[in-house]
Structure 1
Amino acid sequence: MRPAQCKNLERNVFDDLPPDLERLLTLRVWHAMWLARIDNKIAELQRREAEREHGRHVRPARPEWIVQLGIGTGRPPVQVHAGDCYAAGNRRRAIHRDEARRLLASGLPACPHCQPDIDLRILE
């Protein structure tokens, strides 16, 4: 392509813009406002992603064993569960392996779903 053809091509590409300065400035302001909105949305999404990532890093590890607690004075233990058991309920606390074994050996029932007594090798 010859230089004269390049100039004509450039003119054709920008022919759809208004010919007067006032409208061009209006378009520039309008586009600047949209860019600001887009930049704000990008910043918001980046902040949310950073918060999620931070949450993943500071989340405490899932306990290996949990005891489900009852209702009432002292909240007595009700059942022993594996740490990832879906049937554990909301009232619970993390326990160590030795405490889970002790509770099961003392007669506290094991969850029938996750069967921690089998994993802990507690036989009735």
Structure 2
Amino acid sequence: MDDDLPPDLARLRTLETWAAHYLTRIRTRIAAVERQQARPPQAPAPTAAPPSRPATGPGPARPPDWGLAEAGIGVPATEIHRGDCWASGKKLLPVSAELAGGARACDACRPDRVFNRP
């Protein structure tokens, strides 16, 4: 014979057992797919809303509206800055307009224009 099957009976019986087992698995899967297709389509399951913040903890603290930047490297004297000022340095100490009296106003963000409004 000129085929790819083994010539002895023992190996042919092994292949027959394997093929019968595999055919049972295929028929079981066919039946499951037919049952699934026979059912009416279902609405997709609702998914959980993504968290608004990462699970690692709260986000960075919001900068204060006004703040004092202490004198140090790059800051020649204690200055008042707006919270969004790029020249304020790494840390602003929150302060209100009433408590900021006497401190120099930043030349970049000019908070004195807002402090001295009539």
TM-score by length of 2: 0.45
| More helix as a share of residues | 1
**Which structure: larger Rg?**
2
